[in-house]
Amino acid sequence: MREVDLGALETALAEGAPVIDVRELDEYVQVRVPGVTHIPLSEFVARVEEIPAAETVYIICAVGGRSLQAADYLSGRGINAVSVAGGTDGWQQSGRPVESGA
């Protein structure tokens, strides 16, 4: 299982790579990394077909636990998925831009 840091996520976002936020709706509405796609972990298996085809799919949650679970699941399906260490909390604490609202 691979993890990437926030700098790698920033680069991936700038390059248009898919980033999936697996936190629940209330967390996502409160604060999120701009440009992520929301697929909560509680719906992940049922919605896995929504994961875009890409060289690497980045998975983010609050700090890294749930994203590791989702990345592991995708890897088992043959998708190159990486978890973002530090997650949305780390992104926000680093002073990087965030979005909020529905």
The contacts of residue 102 (CB under 8 Å, 6+ apart) are 29
Q: What is the mean pLDDT of residues 5-33?
A: 97
Confidence band of 74 (pLDDT split at 50, 70, 90): very high
Q: What is the mean pLDDT of residues 20-31?
A: 98
pLDDT score of 102:
85
Q: Taking the model in full, what pTM does it have?
A: 0.96
Q: Is pLDDT at 12 greater than 70 in this prediction?
A: yes
Q: Residue 64: what residue type?
A: G
Q: What is the mean pLDDT of residues 44-59?
A: 96
Percent of the chain with pLDDT over 90: 96
SS3 percent helix, strand, coil of the chain, rounded to 5, is 40, 15, 45
Q: Of 54, 55, 59, 56, which is closest to residue 40 (Cα–Cα)? A: 59
